[in-house]
Structure 1
């Protein structure tokens, strides 16, 4: 894929970059805000770092030009490339929620946990998160501000539910809201919205509260890491909340019947049959397959089961 085909201009010096998770196009997006103080949101995986560098070079951002790298949360499909990008762009400050900061400075515990989940597939999908100098990391709390220069700024808003270290980011100029995974996974080919509820942090009430927080910010557009820009803000946030409730209700019913994970997965699949065009009988199996790899039913159901067990 040529460098130019990785880049989609979105207006007002915002550029979507296809970060090519495990070589797959159209599944993970980073965003460059080419302002007076250029900012990269969501660098993607370690394996994505060379792709991101090529795109930034194409957009005129040299090694000493990038001012800030921001991650919505520290899951490896979003933040796995932070250490690599920090080395490539030595002037860039790294911004992350305070609950994730220590894992960027010392990723050993995070990588051990990830390897337990993914096994050998970890290297293919994500690669190794490399440490970032602690002095270059800025942790934000409930809110924070990233200076984009010229009076433009990103304001961070703590938005847990998907992960306890998750933030959303609102651009003061455009009204774009970078939603990370807090609003789930958006499939642009079919306009489907599916939940992203992996263990160990998922919590329904917290996730729904974060969606309401996003709504109250009155964004003009949602920018999904998976995948791309969405202008139907209210409808998409409504759908995101609806899907969360449906999945949790299906898993709760299965759990109340004493059913195991496999049966809970089957219950969700039955309850949601026909809800997603990407998974329908006439859908492209490759499209469904790549999103299943990213945010699979089994992983999401396991996260919901874990949450219900915690509250029991």
Structure 2
């Protein structure tokens, strides 16, 4: 089968789709195919939807063959294209965390929240207009339930820590979790002879380190062979990467707390500097030869992680009063 280079067959009927958000190898959606039926996990933005539909065509699947669309959470790089995609898939049901369902039925608040983070220019360029999904086509996922895909079980697990509306999808057939942002970010430009490197994401506004530690541990209970990351791609060597994530979550908490009382602008700059120093040390230990280039690849993530840590600090300080 001659497939485009952005559509990668992995194993066991799992296909990786590069949505081309922010360029190559940054944002993935996944298509699971079983006996002629299909499910999408994450969608990317509106701009990625033509590729998702083209993936069906390339694999000889009709739009009517898609039973499930499952965004891991409603952040726009994972779910911004949900409304547009659902309009093209007449038989599909949208399955989403209960905390996220209302935001996809009426995406007004979701758009306004993202607008506050990214600004109007970036929203127009990167995301476009968010389309609603009819309520009767939306199913709220249970805390630990299983969907059937032509007899293939897809287990949905509530996994807060990055966001309170986050779920991960366990696919026993391939031995992997579709992890959204719960299992962090791993870019292929940071791979070395030691394998992939990974970092947690604390992007605004619901980072909760204790919950994230617990969610990681729950994912490991199935002894997964693979983690299918939205950012970016399938990674193995799961126990080592989980250890790196636990280590860095604790390091992020440790570097942030002494900065809590600083004025907002000064604190943001200090958080960005501290995160950059943390990642430089991590990448040096990992054996990356060009540390400056490695940090440049993390520019957006350092900005968003600093913003998310600031929100968490303010919430923690408010709870302590």
TM over 0.5: yes
Gaps of 5+ in 1: none
1:263 aligns with 2:270: yes
Task: Determine the structure 1 residue equivalent to 2:221.
Answer: 216
CA distance in 2, matches of 1:263, 1:34: 46
1:28 aligns with 2:27: yes
Count of paired positions: 306
Task: Determine the structure 2 residue equivalent to 1:239.
Answer: 244
Task: Determine the structure 2 residue equivalent to 1:136.
Answer: 137
1:148 aligns with 2:149: yes
Gaps of 5+ in 2: none
CA 1:289–1:273 in 2, change beyond 3 Å: closer, same or farther? closer
Task: Determine the structure 2 residue equivalent to 1:207.
Answer: 212
CA distance in 2, matches of 1:208, 1:79: 24
Q: Partner of 1:38: helix, strand, or coil? A: strand
Check whether the contact 1:76–1:129 (CA below 8 A) recurs between aligned residues: no
CA 1:116–1:3 in 2, change beyond 3 Å: closer, same or farther? farther
CA distance in 2, matches of 1:46, 1:310: 32
Check whether the contact 1:16–1:32 (CA below 8 A) recurs between aligned residues: yes
Question: Which of 299, 306, 313 is 1:308 aligned to?
Answer: 313
CA distance in 2, matches of 1:284, 1:13: 38
CA distance in 1, matches of 2:276, 2:295: 14
CA 1:73–1:18 in 2, change beyond 3 Å: closer, same or farther? same
Task: Determine the structure 2 residue equivalent to 1:192.
Answer: 197
Task: Determine the structure 2 residue equivalent to 1:16.
Answer: 16
CA distance in 2, matches of 1:155, 1:228: 20
Q: Partner of 1:273: helix, strand, or coil? A: helix
CA 1:281–1:262 in 2, change beyond 3 Å: closer, same or farther? farther
Q: Partner of 2:64: helix, strand, or coil? A: coil
Check whether the contact 2:20–2:48 (CA below 8 A) recurs between aligned residues: yes
Check whether the contact 2:145–2:157 (CA below 8 A) recurs between aligned residues: yes
| 1:95-132 residue CA offsets vs partner (Å, 9 max, x unmatched) | 11000001000000110111121111112222222101
Task: Determine the structure 2 residue equivalent to 1:97.
Answer: 97
Q: Partner of 2:30: helix, strand, or coil? A: strand
CA distance in 1, matches of 2:287, 2:93: 40
CA 1:265–1:159 in 2, change beyond 3 Å: closer, same or farther? same
Q: Partner of 1:26: helix, strand, or coil? A: coil
Task: Determine the structure 2 residue equivalent to 1:121.
Answer: 122
Shift in Å, 1:137 = 0.7
Q: TM-score normalized by structure 1?
A: 0.92
Q: Partner of 1:30: helix, strand, or coil? A: strand
Q: TM-score normalized by structure 2?
A: 0.89
Q: Partner of 1:185: helix, strand, or coil? A: coil
CA distance in 1, matches of 2:81, 2:287: 30
Shift in Å, 1:290 = 5.3
Shift in Å, 1:233 = 1.0
CA distance in 1, matches of 2:202, 2:159: 14
CA distance in 2, matches of 1:204, 1:274: 21
Task: Determine the structure 2 residue equivalent to 1:298.
Answer: 303
| Greater alpha carbon shift after TM alignment, 176-185 vs 265-274 | 265-274
CA 1:3–1:228 in 2, change beyond 3 Å: closer, same or farther? same
CA 1:273–1:124 in 2, change beyond 3 Å: closer, same or farther? same
Shift in Å, 1:217 = 2.2
CA distance in 1, matches of 2:12, 2:279: 38
| 1:120-161 residue CA offsets vs partner (Å, 9 max, x unmatched) | 111222222210111111111311212111x31100000001
Check whether the contact 2:197–2:241 (CA below 8 A) recurs between aligned residues: no
CA distance in 2, matches of 1:63, 1:267: 47
